[in-house]
Structure 1
Amino acid sequence: MAVTLGDVARHAGVSLATASRALNGSARSVTEELSAKVRASAEALGYLPNAPAQALARATGATIGVLLHDVADPYFGGIARGVGDAAARAGLLSLVASTDGDPRRELEAIRMLHAHRARAIVLAGSAYTDVEARRRLDEALTAYQAQGGHVVAISEHGPNYDTVHVNNQEGATSLTYALQQLGHRRFAVITGPERMWVSADRLNGVLDALRGAGQEPTDGMVQHAEFTREGGQAAMARILDIARESGTPLPTAVIALSDICAAGALAELRAGGISVPGEMSVAGFDDIPLATDLAPALSTVRLPLIRMGESAVRLALRGPGPQRDRSEAFAQVVLRDSTAAPKAD
């Protein structure tokens, strides 16, 4: 297996950024003692430095890269629109890389943007639960930052990057409270894939509210699915099957933790002859434009997606140093026709 810059940093007992500066010729100062230590470790391990990366140290271009899961998903489309608009106002070009939620594809995109001297990289929805995947991504991003690049994360990715904070957990809690106030006591939840932190954040927000009221979902009433229409429809079908096979009452409210998943849930309920909100209320999360076009219009949690993308660019152009933007991503509950008080049992 090839020796990585991270291996050299660990051997020398220095940070990844320091190792990168010592070996890649960054103008940011590293003491001669540390440089000698890093060079000795590189030689001992047989590390072969990346010559093009050395030549590009400190260089920045006129592009901002945006890494997202699926450009066809309106959630990511809204963020990409915001990045593109703000980049254009700054005289920059935005380049969108769709990774399909695959950390390997994301790593390749980061390295390519680094090689092409992108001025900044915006991470949208790419926080993974897999420790090894996160380590590799962090190594690549740290090396990029050490050579003058700027990384901005939308949602939490740790302390090493400027962040546009998204109130995912708080928004999910507030949505659950709103449904409880309507009188709902039996809930089902359709959350995202377990590999993504956003899924855990939103699910934890729902469960916190339910547990606080003694309403934790019964077995099978929490389903993981891809954040797609098909994923939401399949998860809704599983929830209905489990309830019917166990002989337990159907939930009166379903919280799908993305609007796209909620659209799939609505389709499955319609196909099964279950009226919304007459027999079951459905709520989503994100408030994408589709939410108001569905029948019935979808209750949801509104995130200012375009402003989130614009905020990421503003942070990227402010210069180095961690900065937080929390106000731009405030989550707001919006109740529409897809939710109502449950029928009396």
Structure 2
Amino acid sequence: MVMGMHKVKTIARRSFLVGMLLGALFFFWLIRKILLLFLGGWLLAYLLGPLVARMESRGLSRLQALLVLYAIMTGLVLAVAFFLLPVFLRELSQVGEVLPGIWLRWEGFWQNWLARLDGAGLPAQVQKVLSERLGQAREGVEGWLAQGAAGILALAGQIGTILLLPILAFYFLLDWQRLHQGWELLLPGSARLHALALLDELDQIMKKFIRGHLLICLLVGALTGIGMTLLGVPYALFLGVVAGILDLIPFFGPILGGIPAVVLALQISWSKALAAAVVILVIQQVEAHLLSPKILGDALNLHPLTVIFALLAGGEVAGLWGLLLAVPLTAIGKAILRYVFLLLVE
């Protein structure tokens, strides 16, 4: 009888815990947008953490360091808003106006090429397939442009929410040590050493990849914009921003980021397009052989084939976001699986 009551209590306790867990998951799903907002604030705090620590090492208190850092950030944001943002929006609008003409010109070139191949005896079925692929490519480009425009509008509509990120980051940074110690206390004592070791490795991955990669993208974007300005290619600021953003995608990003510059330069002359291609190639070589080894090193310890597979799988599953997050998530997953394996074999 006693054993039966104990079993009933155990089942009831487990059922209660499962119910609480499901309820918590449902609640978190309902407030997922708020959780993403706090996650964004934490990520911003994580990126700014080293700057705050460096200021503290020079004798400032944490609050003083934060106030100085936020004053500098506010000045930079205002400078960008007043000097660069109007130029970027104007160039973005102009690119949107000339893009259809560029596409029609390339489509005409492609159709002429197909006609020549047809005259040379190209099978009708092959020409049909090529024409269909051209139509699909055009629809894809138009879809990407529509998604990009919708994304910009959605981002503009969320400007009030975005302004909350630095406020949240401020409080995260102000109590960073206390929050870190609180997370440590939540870990069970038996697994605390393993969990802290894993968190330390994940921290190294995040530091090297996210902070380092963002810095590299900023440098690549700046170099691209300066290079196109010196060449006299129009929309240099827009091209620099595009190159910097696409550089977030490993392997394929630098190539994709250089294509718009070459295409727009080609509207001027073949020689200008060749010069733009050379500048893009030089920037890519500087990134591959100077910036990445110096800033990133072998941060992720992933084989190139693993990186390519992760990119293809991420793009297939989640599109652009999959491409952006595939590599760091793969590195994080590898670290977690390795620690789980080590715990199982102990």
What TM-score does the superposition give when structure 1 sets the normalisation length? 0.25
What TM-score does the superposition give when structure 2 sets the normalisation length? 0.25
> Which one has the bigger helix percentage?
2
Whichever of the two has the greater Rg, that structure is 2
